[in-house]
Each structure stands twice: as structure tokens, then as C-alpha cells.
Amino acid sequence: MSQTSSSRLLRWGCVLLPPALLAAGFAWAAGLFSPHRLSTARFMTVLENGGGAAPGFRRAHSKGLCVLGQFDASGAMTAYSSAAVFSQSHIPVTGRLALAPPFPHIVDGPGIVRSMALRLQPDHAQEWRTTMNDPPLQPMRDIQDAFASFSANQRDPVTHKPDPRLAKAYEEARPWLKTAYAANRAHVMSSDFANDTFNSIDSFQVTNAQGERHTVRWSMVPVSPPEAPVRPEDAHDPNVLFTHVIASLHQQPLRWNLVVTIANPSDPVNDPSQPWAPTDRTVTAGTLTLHSSASEDNSPCGGMVFDPTILPSGLSLSGDPLPALRSAVYMRSFVRRSGETKDPSSITPAMTQPH
């Protein structure tokens, strides 16, 4: 090879190598060299394989009802957090009551995990979105557990049902979840949404006006819930839990106290599968009052994402790993369902009208 042609080759190499390296860097960022990376797309796949992947519906907590109301802060949390949601009254609330499984038309049953998601929008201040479930603890401690747990719930392609052996194997491989499983099994499910307690499970951080920080969890605890209406047709109503809460809301507002638990220094603040000390200080931050309900087919809650990392100043993420995962996966689910044509929800607009 002549000197000129080899130097020409070298110069062409210098032209092409830097962009090639840069392209490789972008490919790495996009996960092309990391097939085992737990991308949100892989989470979506296991969630969709676990449920019906019904177009237009949320990929988890798929069956739900919008609720409207207000939050009135007691002022007691202002010692711990400067967030406006803890000092204002008559804060408008848009929320959603749902069943956790990824099936939008699942038949209501007493053993199914229920959830409450809320968006609090104070006047001239930052909003707060929060999601809560009724079990006391999370049977997963981190993102790896979450992926393994959803994977264990995938439906078998032949039987179209999850293999119970997978769920059992998930539990047995994780001795650190013993406490969470025991607590959730001992948890007595309430009869209805109206008398249910919903827990943040994940921890968050609060900061007050002096800059002092504390780690907290919270619960929505029902206040004098009405007697559950019992009707002869209940046994055959596939939407019995939603029918009950809609009927209750037509009779009277439903109220919950927001009870915030302040972590003590020995509490495991970064692990949603572990309980905190029962002696921890609690603060009643205010009262949630739900006035009415609406089908998610004609209410703004249908097109809303209850991303628990949407926090006002004075409330922030802790070291708990799961809210970040929820935010990422919810965004992916929100994109997919928003671009799809949705079938009518099980809870139709007509069902939320007074009879």
C-alpha cells in the first residue's frame, strides 16, 4: 500500500470513527447492548401478558370509577411540611377508586386489592397526586422484585391463567418479603370502598418552612362510614363494590382522614415491604370528602395519570425505589392507552346517575 493511500485510509478512519463511537454510545443508552435491562417496555409486556391488555384501559388498576370532592387541611402537618395542600381548605380533588388487577371487566370480589388515587389542586399552588392501596405492605422491595412479581403473574398462553406455582416460587425465593406476606394475609378486607383504609405504603419526605426533613407514610382512614347497603341482587352484581359506593355517594358524602405517620430513626424508610414501628407519631393532616362519582368514560380522571411523583414543594421523594418505577411505567401505560380506541368501561355513565 502506498504511503498516500494508507494516509488517505487513516484520514477516512478519522472521519468515520468519531460518529461511529457516538452512534454506539446512543445505542448503549437505548439499551441495544443491554438486553437484560429492565426497560419500561419490558414492564409493559409483563403487565399486558398478565391482563387482557384491553385497548384504551390502564395496564393495571384497570377497573375504576372517578370520584370528586375536596380536601380540608387540619393545619397540623404544617409543622412538618410547607406544602400548600397541608394548610388550605376546600382544595378541589379529582380521584379514582379502582381494583388493582389488570382486568377492566373483572367481577368485583371481596379478596381483590382496592386502590384510591387522588389529585389535589390547591388555589395558586402546586398540585399533589397520590396513589394508595388497601394492603398494609408491598410484597416487593425494589424494581427487581416488581419485575419478578409481575412476571410471576403472567397468564399461561395455553390455560390463559397465571400459574400459581410461579407466584409461590416468587414468594419462596424472597425471605425478605415474609413480613409483608404475613401482614397482608392477616389484613381483614373491609366490605366496601367506603369503609376501606388506603395506604401510601411507599415512603416520601416532607420538608417544613425551616428546612427540617422527615420521612413519612400515610393512610386514608374512613370517618364514620355508612352501613353497607345490602340488596338481594348483590350476589349477582359483577360491579357490586362500585354499585355500593355510587349509591352511598348519592345518599351522603364519604369522608376519610389523612393520617400521616412520621418515621422514627430506626424505621426502614427505603423499603415498602417492611412495617414501621407501631409507636410512631401520627398526624391527622386533614379530611378528604368525596361528594360524587362519575364514569371514567366521561370524567377527566379517565385521561389523567395518577403519578405519585407529582409532588408539591414541601413534599418529595424518599429513598423508596418504587415511586420512580411507578412514574416511569405509568407514563408508558398512559401513552399506550391514550393512543388507543377505548371500549366502554364496566362502570358506565348511566350507572353513576341517581335512580
Partner 1 sequence: MSSSSSPRGFALSSRLVHWVMAVLILAMLGLGLFIAHSSTVHYVTLLHLHLITGVSLLVLVIVRLLNRFVVPTPELPADLTTPMRLGATGAHLALYGLMIAQPLVGWAMLSAGGYPITLGGSVTLPPIVPHNPALWANLRQIHTILAYAFIAVILLHIVAALFHGLIRRDHVLSSMVSGK
DSSP state at residue 106: P
The dihedral through the CA atoms of 47, 49, 52, 55 has a sign that is positive
Smallest gap, in angstroms, from Cβ of residue 344 to partner 1?
16
Instruction: Name residues whose C-beta falls within 8 Å of residue 331's C-beta, 6 or more positions apart in sequence.
Output: 40, 305, 307
Determine if 55 is a binding residue for partner 1 (CB under 8 A): no
Give me the amino acid identity at 307: D
| Residue carrying C-alpha cell 392507552 | 337
Q: Based on CB atoms, which residue is closest to partner 1, 9 or 223?
A: 9
CA distance 144 to 23: 29
Q: Which stretch binds partner 1 (CB under 8 A): 47-55, 189-197, 289-297, 331-339?
A: 331-339
DSSP state at residue 278: T
Angle of helix 164-172 versus helix 143-152 axis, rounded to 10: 150
Q: Which stretch binds partner 1 (CB under 8 A): 62-70, 194-202, 211-219, 329-337?
A: 329-337
- Closest residue by Cα to residue 21 from 37, 8, 13, 36: 13
Per CB under 8 A, the list member of 53, 68, 76, 125 interacting with partner 1 is 125
CA distance 283 to 49: 41
Per CB under 8 A, the list member of 304, 348, 349, 351 interacting with partner 1 is 304
From residue 86, give the alpha-carbon distance in Å to each of 72, 206, 284, 312.
8, 11, 10, 10
Determine if 338 is a binding residue for partner 1 (CB under 8 A): yes
The H or E element that residue 222 is part of is strand 213-223
Smallest gap, in angstroms, from Cβ of residue 51 to partner 1?
19
Smallest gap, in angstroms, from Cβ of residue 3 to partner 1?
16
> What residues numbered 7-46 form the site for partner 1, per CB under 8 A?
11-12, 14-16, 18-19, 22-23, 25-26, 29-31, 37-41, 43
Q: Based on CB atoms, which residue is closest to partner 1, 48 or 134?
A: 48
Pull the grid cell for residue 174.
424472597
Determine if 323 is a binding residue for partner 1 (CB under 8 A): yes
CB 244 within 8 A of CB 229: yes
> What residues numbered 272-301 form the site for partner 1, per CB under 8 A?
300
Per CB under 8 A, the list member of 189, 310, 349, 351 interacting with partner 1 is 310
> What residues numbered 127-166 form the site for partner 1, per CB under 8 A?
127, 142-143
CA distance 15 to 141: 48
Per CB under 8 A, the list member of 219, 329, 333, 345 interacting with partner 1 is 329
Pull the grid cell for residue 260.
400521616
Q: Based on CB atoms, which residue is closest to partner 1, 64 or 222?
A: 64
Q: Based on CB atoms, which residue is closest to partner 1, 222 or 314?
A: 314
Give me the amino acid identity at 345: S
Cβ neighbours around 278 below 10 Å, total: 6
CA distance 14 to 21: 11
Q: Based on CB atoms, which residue is closest to partner 1, 134 or 271?
A: 271
Residues that bind partner 1 (CB under 8 A): 11-12, 14-16, 18-19, 22-23, 25-26, 29-31, 37-41, 43, 125-127, 142-143, 300, 303-305, 307, 309-310, 312-313, 317, 319, 321, 323-325, 327-329, 334-339
